[in-house]
Structure 1
């Protein structure tokens, strides 16, 4: 089995949402212990649920219709309603394969969920989360990212949106379709910006502070956050950001997006001048066509000879169109528009083990050092011996499988995260804080004796403080990724407290955690998040010097 390169990251990603969500409860359930609570919004009153100190509002519409003649366009105006609208069930997710415990996917998917301690005008910090799943799957109702514990335990307001994904969210038609379709290659991102505006206009009614909003997200949600950080339309509505295991340094150039559109039209036997026929193609057929194309990863590698990796055409994600997304989020520099907005960025230490689990890759766990070099050669060519030699010298006690995981993990998510941190420091504006999540799960990758460690996506349940002992005193259940050791509860609390404090103040801090210095280019401090946290200066220094030498950073 060949290594997963950064360019191929999402080709094996489709199970993540179903897998992680399966460990939670249904977002559609109303329990006998729930009481109802009402809030007034700009478009009408809504009724949510109050349970165990948290009010939850599900399926709130924040934009109008995006189907029919609104396909590939900005939403129709949201129509006010009379009376009280139920906000008790999550709204439909964007077009994708069906999701467990959620309504059937729909083109009209502009709904959001809110968790708040109380609707009492307290002006709490607002944590606006963008879900993962690349740009093609996922929703704001995934159980691992349930916001109740963050709201309950840390006195914040949590908001999550559904928004257009895939072909329906990112098909670039600007050069064919005229002014009504301006920004078509970024409709999914514009949906999120519309959700941020809804927060600005309404969140005070939910006990949140519209002047203190943090955007954050993991994997594809990290890449979406990277784009929002560079988008003029989003800029007025947030104050700080966190990019987690999804460093969106670069997005799709518009010439590549135009080629993808041309290829799609050809596959559908539609002449460019007849592009309007796309409005009549059933969404299910568009989803089937989308499935034939490669996914766009939440990062794109820089090629030292060409400046931009030229991937195979195909796939749908945010487009650097010069208007909605004026330039690559962090290339060549950090975006000036967010110069004064503090930033968190980082990744999980063992990102690759998720993909080994998902792909049923047991062979990596059998590698010796000779096999390690051979496994790296298809991706790194003549640099493979230098990579192995550097990692062996820097980690003399590590096994060949452990080095393969380390190499794969840092190239997937780490190098881009460091690139973002360095560019933010060079900008000379608000601080940036670099982290590694390192709590080690003891769960084994099936078919091996190799532990999951800190796989991709394990951070979701930890940072949402959903790794906690049961409140009723019953025996805790094993976490889907996190295992069964009680130390995970401390790691989860640290992670959640650091993030909620950052949301509140712009500086991450937590009890029983060392002071977290802002990143700088001299000591390069990195916070390692675990049951016991530590600040490590110039972490991976030898390895990063090598990656710079071979042009990967």
Structure 2
């Protein structure tokens, strides 16, 4: 979707007063196909907590000190400190700069007056990279089309945001782990106290996130301290947290922090004094050989939230499902995010077996005898029966995506439908991306949700033609309607029933057939993973 921007002169720029002080944003003209041009007020880099630097590294979030005068909030700010490097062609756009003090919120609002639903988005990135400053997550189009107040934000990442060690206990809160999750909770509290000044309704907050952000949505919805703060959730391609694949165990976290501290010549509390870039580099080197080389047994793929007995009492599948209206999304080929582009492509069965074995190692230090051939045989048989491709790359993609994401997403959606009485919806997104990507990879939803598929960085992969615009408009309308009143609906979309396992109740969106309600595709593949969990 194209967008024309025109920043008004400072005298006309919107000014909002938060608890800590006043901020001046920018007035932006937004043109969304099918709708009248509209002015949206954009605020970038609004503090929602004190910068977590110096003695506040590894501390629980603190309120930002008040400031006098009017703070400029009209310029995109850096990402939180993170490693640099290339990203898949279909990934959200990476920020050019990062800094440890870059923990802030961005707000887009159609009008600073009024009381509109609030849509809070948590970015993903494997708990290691990503930023609300990405142009992928520019909230202007969604705010304008959906009549929503959009909030995105940075939070602490990597070992500065996720881990555990008692030597880092905050004396004020008693917490010693998962500082990024604490930031996310602080953001929700900030929205409750401050969003009315931006024209938002603090009693109508929808929480949405993709991948690691989807996991955050799930965990925040279960926090007792936030009970009543979140009205509904939209978890997208959720990377449900589990060890050893996506998180360190508490013991392994203690070992890793102590080992990295020794390499840096300090004790664990001394990690507060080490240069952030150096700390991240040594931490990255410590885990550089995973999953084949194991400094510890867990954290084999990502190192997200650790079970800490407080914020995270257990991993997702061992906890209740949130008792909130939920619109879950999954993509058709989650795994092509990881298998497209320059990643290794198997050309024969021997290479396929080697790559499947390497993938299975994220969940276990050893792969049981026969498991590799069993999973390949299962997927090959089902693909052939459905007349889908059976080449090694296609099979690897399906195996990778189902084991990493889709199996748990679907099973948790089924639990939500069975264990709660609130509305539950499931959306299957199947828009085909362009080469070098293929299928509908993990994270393919984001450019369509935000209407940024047509920006320069995404146009080649996602397109900006009439069909892409129609898909984006439909997705935005569905989510906006859900954020307004729990009922996702959009022009051209058939009546969408609540999700019911084993019944045709999934909305399929993105394919050339148009929006349609039917059975979730490729469910037989998922049954294999039921037998190996």
1:76-122 Cα shifts (integer Å, max 9, x gaps): 3321122211111233422114698958422222210000101112x
Q: 2:435 aligns with which of 403, 428, 444?
A: 444
Aligned partner of 1:345 in structure 2 is 328
Work out whether residues 379 and 525 of structure 2, in 8 Å CA contact, stay in contact via their aligned partners in 1: no
Q: Is the 8 A contact 1:60 1:91 kept in 2?
A: no
Mean CA deviation greater in 146-155 or 220-229: 220-229
CA distance in 1 between counterparts of 2:452 and 2:202 reads: 25
Segments of 5+ residues of structure 1 without an aligned counterpart are: 1-22, 301-308, 446-450, 471-475
**1:4-23 C-alpha deviation (Å, 9 max, x unpaired):** xxxxxxxxxxxxxxxxxxx9
What per-residue deviation string (whole Å, max 9, x for no partner) do you get for residues 230-268 of structure 1?
222333421111111123253679982332332332343
Cα shift at 1:503: 1.0
Tell me the residue number matched to 1:54: 40
Q: Equivalents in 1 of 2:9, 2:389: separation in Å?
A: 51
Alignment of 1:201-220 (within 5 A): 201-220=193-212
Match among 78, 81, 84 for residue 64 of structure 2: 78
Match of 1:287 among 280, 284, 287: 280
Q: Which residues of 2 match residues 286-365 of structure 1 at below 5 A? A: 286-294=279-287, 311=298, 316-329=303-316, 331-335=317-321, 338-339=322-323, 341-361=324-344, 363-364=345-346
Contact 1:135 1:296 in 2 (8 A): no
Q: Which moved more, 1:222-231 or 1:393-402?
A: 393-402
Equivalent residue, structure 2, for 1:159: 151
Q: Give the Å deviation of 1:216.
A: 0.8
Q: 1:397 to 1:259 in 2, by over 3 A?
A: closer
Given that residues 352 and 396 in structure 2 are in contact (C-alpha distance below 8 angstroms), is that contact kept between their aligned partners in structure 1? yes
Matches within 5 A, 1:372-411: 376=356, 379=360, 380-400=371-391, 401-411=393-403
Q: Return the TM-score normalized by structure 1.
A: 0.81
SS at match of 1:185: coil
Structure 1 residue 526 corresponds to structure 2 residue 500 = no
- 1:551 aligned onto 2:532: yes
Closer, same or farther: CA 427–47 of 1 in aligned 2, 3 Å: same
- Of 237-246 and 480-489, deviating more is 480-489
Q: Which residue of 2 aligns with 1:15?
A: none
Unaligned runs of 5+ in 2: 30-38, 86-92, 361-370
Match of 1:510 among 469, 477, 490: 490
In the TM superposition, 1:400-479 aligns within 5 A as: 400=391, 401-441=393-433, 443-445=434-436, 452-467=438-453, 479=459
- Other-structure match for 2:476: 496
Q: Using the alignment, how far apart are the partners of 1:86 and 1:128 within structure 2?
A: 22
Closer/same/farther in 2, CA of residues 30 and 274 from structure 1, 3 Å limit: farther
1:16 maps to none
Matches within 5 A, 1:147-226: 147-174=139-166, 177=169, 179-180=171-172, 182-226=174-218
Q: How many residues align?
A: 496
Q: 1:409 to 1:496 in 2, by over 3 A?
A: same
Hey, what's the Cα distance between the residues in 1 that align with 2:480 and 2:121?
A: 12
Cα deviation, residue 36, structure 1: 0.9
Q: TM-score, normalised by structure 2?
A: 0.83
**Which residue does the alignment assign to 2:89?**
none
User: What secondary structure sits across from 2:414 in the alignment?
Assistant: helix
Q: State which of 244, 250, 261 in structure 2 corresponds to 1:257.
A: 250
CA distance in 2, matches of 1:71, 1:429: 41
Distance 1:484 1:108 in 2: 35
Q: Report the RMSD for the aligned CA atoms in angstroms.
A: 3.4
* Aligned-partner Cα distance in 1 for 2:302–2:400: 23
Quote the Cα distance in structure 2 between the aligned partners of 1:521 and 1:413: 18
Aligned partner of 1:68 in structure 2 is 54
Structure 1 residues 179 and 32: CA distance shift in structure 2, 3 A:
closer
Among residues 25, 37, 57, which one is paired with 2:14 in the alignment? 37
